[in-house]
Amino acid sequence: MKAATVPIVIFLVIVALIAVISLGRGGGDAAEVETVNNLIPTPSKTGPHPSASFDSTEHVFGTMHQGQEGEHSFIVTNEGEAPLQLVARQEDTTCQCTVGSVGKNGLAPGESTEITLTWKIKSALAKFHHSAKLRTNDPNQPTVVLHIKGKVGKLLRIRPHTEWPTGAMPDGEEVTLTGTLHSEIVDAFEITEIESNSEHVGAAWKVIPKNELSKLIDLEENKMLPPGSTPQKQEITEPRCGYDVTVTVKPTIEVGPFRKTLTIHTDVKDAETLTLHIYGNRAGPMEFFAKAGTRWFDKFMVADLGRFKASEGKKGGLMLYIKKHDGQPVEVVPDSIVTEPSFIKCTVTRDEEFKSQDRDRFDVNFEVPAGTPVKAFNRDKYATVQIKTTHPDAKEMLFKLYFNSY
């Protein structure tokens, strides 16, 4: 007689697995079955007994990506002489479970049914392992655990990360940055475009040969460890295909700190558009030195006025040297100075007494007037000063201003 189908549903909602178990059951005469402790089946004391035989108790799905769903069916056959009862209890798992009834007769001798688990990957952790526990009235297998295992990979992954610094750019020199873009899920994909929001920043890419993909694993495994520490074995999802990406920053990029964006477009289905940030600073043909009351951090193009009372205000300044262009003096464009916030005052005047064949000197003076609002400007939120010049390689320059008024 063909088995009817009665569902048992298990919802594994912890972290990364949602499992649904559906079971069929057979008809036939019922043997005496004792059920105790909230529906835990126990074998008959006198027999006959069922015998649960599973085609497997473990499924390894390979590699899936975050958000992806999967399904696998296990087959159980009753090879014993009495009906087989199967029960999945919420308290037997590390998840919340809703269990349907399998009826009194259970799975008849000789009959088989499917136990289907479906799951959704919710965690980005590389190793995935969850399980569903079944209770039976088979005296030789009172508990059977079904396992779902595999690895979680990224549809697309940028290395070393999505923030690429240039540092302080040498005057007149192009800066090149390199990294990779790879997939741990698909066997091949194309970069259709890398879109830049700046004419001074561009990108090129080329396919990484299959036999060189292992270098990406080496980069992950050989991260620097603290002195005296012991390397720990970690789960790494192997790359399946990828590209070397080269970013070029031209020496014509604006003077001062900059942050540019590259948007990477691919043909990978369901993959999010990736954004790569390129940042740094360029001094260009200019050189700054701090005056009294100011600290200058050349690497970050930052002038720091320190801490002062808002009721008293603060003055500071810099000496600015600009290389001449083709021997011609450089001028600051009149009325081109812009400060943010606008209550900061800034003036730039040429030092007429400074004589040099190859550069000009300017006095840059700024002031936070007395009585202005209490403010704190630092690396997370900073004030800015922007100046325009007639130098073709430094038409605009911008530096940051830090201070803490109270």
pLDDT score for 326: 85
Cβ distance 279 to 302 under 8 Å? no
pLDDT score for 370: 96
pLDDT score for 374: 95
pLDDT score for 209: 93
Based on the domain organization, do 107 and 198 belong to the same domain?
Answer: no
69-78 β-sheet, strand order: 52-54, 69-78, 112-120
User: What is the pLDDT averaged over residues 102-107?
Assistant: 60
What residue has token string 């558009």?
Answer: 273
Q: How many domains does the chain have?
A: 3
For 229, the token pair is 């520490």
Kind plus residue range of the DSSP H or E element containing 78: strand 69-78
Beta bridge partner(s), residue 245: 179, 205
Kind plus residue range of the DSSP H or E element containing 394: none
Closest C-alpha to 337, from 297, 384, 402: 384
pLDDT score for 327: 83
pLDDT score for 92: 65
Lowest mean pLDDT among 15-19, 84-88, 339-343: 15-19
In the predicted structure, residue 372 carries a pLDDT above the cut 80:
yes
For 157, the token pair is 């992954």
Based on the domain organization, do 149 and 252 belong to the same domain?
Answer: no
Based on the domain organization, do 192 and 248 belong to the same domain?
Answer: yes
pLDDT score for 192: 94
d(CA 58, CA 61): 10
Based on the domain organization, do 146 and 33 belong to the same domain?
Answer: yes
Q: State phi, psi for 216 to the nearest 5 degrees.
A: -70, -35
* Cβ density class 197-211: b for 16+ within 10 Å, e for less: ebebbebebeebeee
pLDDT score for 338: 94
Confidence grade of residue 152 (pLDDT, cut at 50, 70, 90)? confident
Q: SS3 of 305, please?
A: strand
Based on the domain organization, do 260 and 314 belong to the same domain?
Answer: no
Confidence grade of residue 38 (pLDDT, cut at 50, 70, 90)? low
Lowest mean pLDDT among 84-98, 182-196, 199-213: 84-98
- Answer whether residue 386 is part of any domain: yes
In the predicted structure, residue 35 carries a pLDDT above the cut 60:
no
- Answer whether residue 223 is part of any domain: no
Read off the pLDDT of residues 305-350 as tens digits, 9 standing for 90 and up.
999 999 999 999 999 999 888 888 888 988 899 999 999 999 999 9
Domain boundary among 153, 185, 200: 153
Based on the domain organization, do 128 and 65 belong to the same domain?
Answer: yes
Cβ distance 47 to 72 under 8 Å? no
- Answer whether residue 226 is part of any domain: no
pLDDT score for 269: 87
Based on the domain organization, do 115 and 97 belong to the same domain?
Answer: yes
What average pLDDT does the structure give for the chain? 81
- Answer whether residue 125 is part of any domain: yes
User: What is the pLDDT averaged over residues 176-181?
Assistant: 93
Confidence grade of residue 93 (pLDDT, cut at 50, 70, 90)? low
User: What is the pLDDT averaged over residues 197-202?
Assistant: 95
Based on the domain organization, do 66 and 130 belong to the same domain?
Answer: yes
Q: Which residue has the higher pLDDT, 383 or 86?
A: 383
| Cα 238 → chain centroid | 17
User: What is the pLDDT averaged over residues 24-37?
Assistant: 39
Cβ distance 75 to 55 under 8 Å? yes
pLDDT score for 305: 95
User: What is the pLDDT averaged over residues 15-27?
Assistant: 40
pLDDT score for 365: 94
Beta bridge partner(s), residue 286: 322
**Contacts of residue 170, Cβ cutoff 8 Å, sequence gap at least 6:** none
Read off the pLDDT of residues 230-271 as tens digits, 9 standing for 90 and up.
544 556 678 889 999 999 999 888 888 889 999 999 999 888
Based on the domain organization, do 194 and 147 belong to the same domain?
Answer: no
In the predicted structure, residue 108 carries a pLDDT above the cut 50:
yes
Confidence grade of residue 304 (pLDDT, cut at 50, 70, 90)? very high
Closest C-alpha to 203, from 212, 192, 214: 192
d(CA 283, CA 172): 10
Angle at 130 between CA 125 and CA 134, to 5 degrees: 175
In the predicted structure, residue 228 carries a pLDDT above the cut 90:
no
Domain boundary among 153, 169, 199: 153
| Cα 385 → chain centroid | 34
d(CA 276, CA 361): 38
User: What is the pLDDT averaged over residues 364-390?
Assistant: 93
pLDDT score for 243: 94
Cβ distance 29 to 136 under 8 Å? no
In the predicted structure, residue 217 carries a pLDDT above the cut 80:
no
* Cβ density class 327-341: b for 16+ within 10 Å, e for less: eeebebeeeebebee
pLDDT score for 91: 67
Kind plus residue range of the DSSP H or E element containing 367: strand 359-368
Q: Which residue has the higher pLDDT, 275 or 71?
A: 275
Indicate whether this model's pTM tops 0.85: no
CATH number for the domain including 344? Answer: 2.60.40.10
Confidence grade of residue 15 (pLDDT, cut at 50, 70, 90)? very low
Confidence grade of residue 19 (pLDDT, cut at 50, 70, 90)? very low
Parent domain of 178: 157-218+238-282
In the predicted structure, residue 145 carries a pLDDT above the cut 70:
yes
Percent of the chain topping pLDDT 90: 38
Based on the domain organization, do 161 and 146 belong to the same domain?
Answer: no
The burial class, CB within 10 Å (0-12 / 13-18 / 19+), for 218 is exposed
Based on the domain organization, do 244 and 384 belong to the same domain?
Answer: no
Q: Which residue has the higher pLDDT, 131 or 124?
A: 131
Based on the domain organization, do 114 and 149 belong to the same domain?
Answer: yes
**Contacts of residue 115, Cβ cutoff 8 Å, sequence gap at least 6:** 8, 21, 22, 23, 73, 74, 75, 76, 86, 134, 146
User: What is the pLDDT averaged over residues 44-54?
Assistant: 89
